[in-house]
């Protein structure tokens, strides 16, 4: 069998770097994972050159096959983590069928990763509207143009539709599409991963308890 890791002269097996991140001990952690996330996220915003709010959202389809894609975190608080999408997309259909999702942030500059598992729920339309009105006009029009995840014949079709919608709303406020809005992922488990030397990474997992508190456990790397 051919060694596919060396396909076209690429030695993928040799791609590695030693993680030399900060130490992470239990005493360093806040009792609340949202507060802990805010601390790490603030650090990422100061050190990651682009898109520190990029996260991978993983869902499963009706046959329990996983599907992942990168979206942008747009807000978070004690209630959960919010992103926006087309409610008629594949991801939205999968969320409606099975609302349990996973979020993943990876900030390589700090050798840090945060994994969040929880239940996704639609946010109120008023909240979606407030964010939608803050978007650049081109992005607002783009939300109307794309029937996300559907098969299209060419990019030209998108460009033509964009101009059509642009003309339709000329000199008008672009309204919020009924098929577009946000999801809030309400976490019940959050893991913080800190890369360390010799692959002896630090991992701590928060699990939501019935009384609303969080249990914190160290995991083997």
Active site positions, annotated: 199
In 3D space, the residue among 93, 99, 100, 81 whose CA is nearest the CA of residue 148 turns out to be: 93
Separation of alpha carbons 111 and 131, rounded Å: 31
Give the DSSP letter string of 16-30: ----------GGGS-
Phi, psi at 196, each rounded to 5° = -135, 170
In 3D space, the residue among 58, 73, 154, 74 whose CA is nearest the CA of residue 107 turns out to be: 73
User: Are the C-beta atoms of 206 and 215 separated by less than 8 Å?
Assistant: yes
Query: Which residues touch 112 (CB under 8 Å, ≥6 apart)?
Result: 21, 40, 44, 105, 106, 192, 193, 194, 195
Angle CA 108–110–114, to nearest 5: 75
């Amino acid at each position: 069998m051919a060694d596919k890791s060396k396909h076209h002269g690429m030695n993928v097996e040799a791609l590695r770097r030693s993680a030399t991140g900060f130490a992470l001990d239990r005493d360093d952690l806040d009792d609340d994972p949202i507060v802990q996330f805010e601390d790490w996220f603030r650090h990422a915003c100061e050190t990651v050159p682009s898109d520190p709010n990029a996260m991978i959202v993983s869902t499963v389809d009706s046959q329990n096959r996983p599907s992942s894609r990168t979206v942008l975190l747009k807000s978070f608080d004690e209630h959960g983590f919010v992103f926006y999408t087309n409610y008629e997309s594949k991801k939205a259909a999968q969320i409606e069928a099975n609302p349990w999702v996973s979020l993943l942030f990876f900030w390589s500059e700090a050798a840090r990763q945060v994994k969040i598992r929880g239940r996704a729920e639609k946010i109120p339309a008023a909240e979606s509207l407030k964010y939608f009105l803050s978007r650049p006009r081109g992005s607002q029009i783009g939300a109307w143009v794309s029937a996300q995840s559907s098969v299209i014949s060419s990019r030209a079709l998108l460009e033509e539709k964009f101009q059509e919608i642009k003309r339709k709303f000329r000199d008008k406020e672009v309204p919020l599409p009924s098929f577009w809005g946000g999801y809030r992922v309400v976490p019940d488990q959050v893991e913080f991963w800190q890369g360390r030397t010799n692959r002896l990474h630090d991992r701590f997992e928060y699990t939501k308890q019935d009384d609303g508190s969080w249990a914190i456990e160290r995991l083997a790397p």
